[in-house]
Amino acid sequence: MSKKMTIDQQPSSTFHSSSLSLIDARDEFMIYQRSMRHSERTQEFYRETLRRFVNWCHSSDLNAISDIDSASLRRYCLTLVESGLADTTVHNNMRAVRAFFYFLEREELIQSNPMKRVKMPRVEKKILPAFTDDEIERLLQVCDGKDFISVRNRALILFLLDSGLRCDECRSLKTADIDLQTGVFSVVGKGRKERVSRIGTKALRELRRYLRFHRPTTSQQLWIGKQGDLTALGISGIIKKVGKKAGVHAHPHKFRRTCALRLLRSNADIFSVQILMGHSDITVLRRYLAQSNEDVLAVHARCIE
């Protein structure tokens, strides 16, 4: 009598790799993303990047997973490059495809992983500029009014500058999250990891001023507009609009870079900055540190011939 199949021996899926359609494979991957409680932003990233990949495959008559080989994936990468996308965008799209195929391999939905023989496109690792002191001053001057929008925008700029929060982290904050006496607050970042941070005296003063203002809603969210809670896209739009008025190229992530660079220039140790910024490792901060060192050498060169 044959032995019963153990749990570990049972197939992980009812799909057969030779007949698994690309759409079914994509749907399985997205179910996995939801089951792991990955953030909506992460899920949206995979939805959009895999939508592009699936559309290209169908246009190339590649409808089943078994139709796709390493050569197909290289052709897809070349299509992305030739479409004029930025290097980072090409890399991110291929990163999503790589995650997709490694998932299929783990789930034994494919017999071999064609992505293992495909090199990821290179991306130049460059540090984008931070705000200068003059640019910060120009941004604040644009928000020097006494109306609700000006007061809120000024508080928002100083808050981002001191905290270095990601745009979505800033959007998620509630008024109750912040100690208005000390400026200390907690925030849930990437990977649902909670960390503690703070803002300085000037930012805290402007935040209190904003919160004392007649708020148009009874929302518990920290950042609101006249029509309700601000979204991450709304915050980004505000910063870009203020930047345009000030003649400064501005977006939320630039405040994050500026915050990290200011901390490093003030001799904060790199591991403390990593915790404050919510970075998973210090790779990015090492590049910031290199930029900080270059700034110091430039000052030395100006002062000593």
How far is it, in rounded angstroms, from Cα 152 to Cα 86? Answer: 34
Written as six digits, the tokens of 170 are 């800033």
The whole-angstrom separation of Cα 155 and Cα 118 is: 47
Q: How many CB atoms lie within 10 A of CB 127?
A: 14
296 phi/psi in degrees, rounded to 5: -65, -45
Q: How many residues does the chain have?
A: 305
**Neighbouring residues of 4: CB distance < 8 A, sequence distance ≥ 6:** none
CA 43 – CA 29 distance, rounded (Å)? 10
Three-state DSSP class for residue 231: coil
DSSP-derived secondary structure letter, 213: S
Distance CA 63, CA 66 (A): 8
User: Apex CA 41: angle with CA 250 and CA 78, to 5°?
Assistant: 80
- Terminal alpha carbon distance of the chain: 90
Give residue 188's pLDDT. Answer: 87
Write out pLDDT tens, residues 169-201.
999 999 999 999 999 999 988 777 889 899 999
Give the chain's radius of gyration (CA, Å). 24
**Under the phi-then-psi rule, with left for phi > 0, alpha for psi from -120 to 50, and beta for the rest, what region is 228?**
left
Give residues with Cβ within 8 angstroms of 112, minimum separation 6.
Answer: 105
Per-10-residue mean pLDDT for the chain, 305 residues long?
Answer: 41 56 97 91 94 98 96 98 94 97 96 96 79 96 94 97 93 94 90 87 96 78 91 94 97 92 83 81 71 57 58
Q: In this predicted structure, what is the pLDDT of residue 272?
A: 83
Structure tokens at 284: 């990015």
All domains of the chain, ordered by start, with CATH?
22-117 (1.10.150.130), 133-303 (1.10.443.10)
How far apart CA 44 and CA 34 sit, in angstroms, is 11
Q: What is the pLDDT of residues 67-94, one digit of tens each?
A: 999 999 999 999 999 999 999 999 999 9
The beta-carbon contacts of 128-131 under 8 Å, at least 24 apart in sequence, are: 128/254, 128/257, 129/254, 129/257, 130/254, 130/257, 130/258, 130/261, 130/262, 131/161, 131/248, 131/250, 131/254, 131/255, 131/258
The Cβ of residue 173 has, within 10 Å, a number of other Cβ atoms equal to 20
SS3 139: helix
Structure tokens at 204: 């805290």
In our burial notation (b when 16+ CB lie closer than 10 A, e otherwise), range 218-242 reads: eeeebbbbeeeebebebbbebbeeb
- Cβ atoms of 282 and 274 within 8 Å: the answer is yes
The SS3 assignment for 225 reads: strand
DSSP 84: T
What does 277-298 look like in DSSP terms, one character per residue? HT-SSSHHHHHHHHHHHHHHHH
Residue 166 tokens read as 């990601």
